Structure 1
Amino acid sequence: MRVFDSNWDYAVWIQPESNRIKVSRGSSMYPLTTVSDDLMKEIKKDDTWIENAKKVILDNLDENQEIKSIDFKDQDNQSVSTVDIAAEMEDGRTYTLSYYSDGLLKDAVWYEK
């Protein structure tokens, strides 16, 4: 499914065979840029990224399970354009949230057990 508003394109992929749902958005006014290694190191030192991801999962996605673990996904030695944070819930479901380098949410991916 794909929808758009005046500034953003939105897309949703539902993959029943892998129990995966991905919601993504992009904009020509908000191009992807490579996150440098130095910037990624600074971002990983900033706890607000993890706190914001928790808030998105628990509040915005209306999750009722406790978060078992949450951390930055290992993206070392890769040319990346997003900052990815992975969370595992008590029941084993996982989320991956991808952010633009300024902290704006780009993607949310749900994986069911």
Structure 2
Amino acid sequence: MQRMNGKCSQNYTPQVPHKYPTSTPQVKDKLHTSNPFILELIKIIGDKNLSVREMLSVIGLKERKNFLDLYLNPAINEGYVCLLYPNSPRHPRQKYLLTVKGLAVYDECNKLE
């Protein structure tokens, strides 16, 4: 290392990231959820279209707010469940069904059983 005009100079060449990396990071498993409430809801809905009232009776809950907070809204937010009438969420005949992602998890759960 030499000092020139108060600055250090080295024979240093900065490492520039390669334009085309030789390896890529591993893709996360997008068909898995660690939330047991979502898994239970996926198993209940299956290949059917169910209303909130029907799902509540199958699960055995009475409180609609808890069901929405713990089960349905997280499943919708993570993309496992969708609405039958997505443009009108308060439709009188609103039902819920599994998305392609939810059906993949449902099929995986059935293989394990």
After TM superposition, the score normalised by the length of structure 1 is 0.24
Structure number, greater radius of gyration = 2
After TM superposition, the score normalised by the length of structure 2 is 0.24
Which is strand-richer, 1 or 2?
1
